[in-house]
Structure 1
């Protein structure tokens, strides 16, 4: 009996874009391209949306004039794909990324907010961001009220992981003076 040698057919970034151009992928369809595969994206519930709003509010004050925020928009990882992180904190660019999506060298760090996607964000996305050379990756774990901070990208995963509870604060490596209280990111009360 011979071993099964079938492998999944992976797509290139050009093929992914072509599928959108010719209508195979509908503009309203929520998908992202990672590691040659097209993944359906989970619907964004109200809690997820509010946590992303918290990120944006917090980061606007901390990084104004120092970085550009990109919310739920693609970043270009070459053939590794075009994920759409909940928040990407980018280098300021005079061109404002008009001709290309930001590439790893333009990205200070990315953040994913996980309520139903924690395993996916800690595995597939972790590997993809690390392999592409993104220097820092955060996962806001809504259900367990903590933030994973990954640094030191390696060939398959980040080599450093820190888990911050809601009683702690975190600072991105690119902005060591920017102190982000985890409790503020996870706050769902009306202000």
Structure 2
């Protein structure tokens, strides 16, 4: 097993050979090691996952908390091993079962939630934001634990994210992909 080196472009084939105990992402061929999540990060992840999972019980869509590999193909990728965008969102919701395999998800999830930590802020708010938009992720949430708010981006008809809706710890959020699912933020930010 080898570790990524600065200045080299990497693919999904490389990702498969990195140590399993380390969490890596590749964005445009550049490797990013993910920091170990904090306790608060994990509590937020678990509460959001729980509320979504309870709603999805018996439905065809599934929720996957991290670590869960999402491979985002581009037109220039000749085969799966050539992919240069491999991410591990904090929470992914996938409704198209044909995108799922034993390795994770190949293609854009219907919804992604990223929980910000200081080392991931730039990636989550800029780099991944643009990747998710381009890939066609219908709904993207950026959770900011320190400020106790969530920015919700919805993919519009123009295939672009519109202006975000901002929610705080006392709000409830109705998901755009499931009109009858409402997430109560009060237990999320306790």
The normalised TM-score by structure 2 is: 0.79
Alignment partner of 1:47 is 2:29: no
Q: Say how many residue pairs are matched.
A: 172
Equivalent residues of 1:130, 1:158 under 8 A apart: yes
Where has structure 1 moved over 6 Å in runs of 4 or more? 153-157
Conservation of the 8 A alpha-carbon contact between 1:145 and 1:165: yes
Q: Residue 131 of structure 1: CA displacement? A: 1.3
The equivalent residue for 1:77 is 72
Equivalence for 1:13: 12
Aligned to 1:178: 181
Structure 2 distance, partners of 1:128, 1:96, is 17
- Give the secondary structure class of the aligned counterpart of 1:167: coil
CA distance in 1, matches of 2:185, 2:179: 15
Distance 2:29 2:143 in 1: 25
- Structure 2 regions of 5+ residues with no counterpart? 1-6, 74-82
Larger Rg: 1
Higher helix share: 1
Report how far residue 97 of structure 1 moved.
2.4
- C-alpha distance in 2 between matches for 1:33 and 1:155: 27
C-alpha displacement of 1:153: 6.2
CA distance in 1, matches of 2:94, 2:122: 25
Secondary structure (helix, strand or coil) at the match of 2:105 reads coil
